[in-house]
């Protein structure tokens, strides 16, 4: 699989709250710091970090993987990109 497909799978795993798959993809070289701007050919809101999808999943273990990888949640100016909007 190409990097683009792995990135898509990574976001899907984060959104699904699949910690085993998130962990496996990070070990395969996918950065936990990705955001939707890193996905080509997929229409998504701009600049949303993968950790936001993990938080929206509600799976604690998946979110902890991102936090242990030192992924930060930056302040986003618009409500469209807030964690509350994803919730």
* 3-state secondary structure labels for all residues of the chain: CCHHHHHHHHHHHHHHCCHHHHHHHHHCCCCCCCEHHHCCCCCCCCCCEHHHHHHHHCCHHHHHHHHHCCCCCCCCCCHHHCHHHHC
Phi, psi of 49 (to 5 degrees): -70, 150
The Cβ of residue 46 has, within 10 Å, a number of other Cβ atoms equal to 11
pLDDT at 87 (0 to 100): 47
pTM of structure = 0.80
The predicted-structure confidence for 25-59, as pLDDT tens digits, reads as follows: 999 999 999 998 888 876 767 788 999 999 999 99
What per-residue confidence (pLDDT) applies to 80?
54
């Amino acid at each position: 699989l190409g990097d683009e497909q792995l990135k898509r799978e990574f976001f899907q795993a984060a959104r699904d709250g699949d910690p085993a798959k998130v962990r496996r993809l990070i070990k395969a070289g996918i950065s936990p710091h990705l955001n939707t701007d890193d996905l080509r050919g997929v229409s998504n809101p701009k600049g949303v970090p993968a950790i936001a999808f993990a938080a929206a999943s509600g799976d604690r273990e998946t979110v902890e993987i991102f936090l242990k990888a030192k992924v930060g949640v930056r302040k986003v100016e618009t409500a469209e990109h807030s964690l509350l909007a994803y919730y």
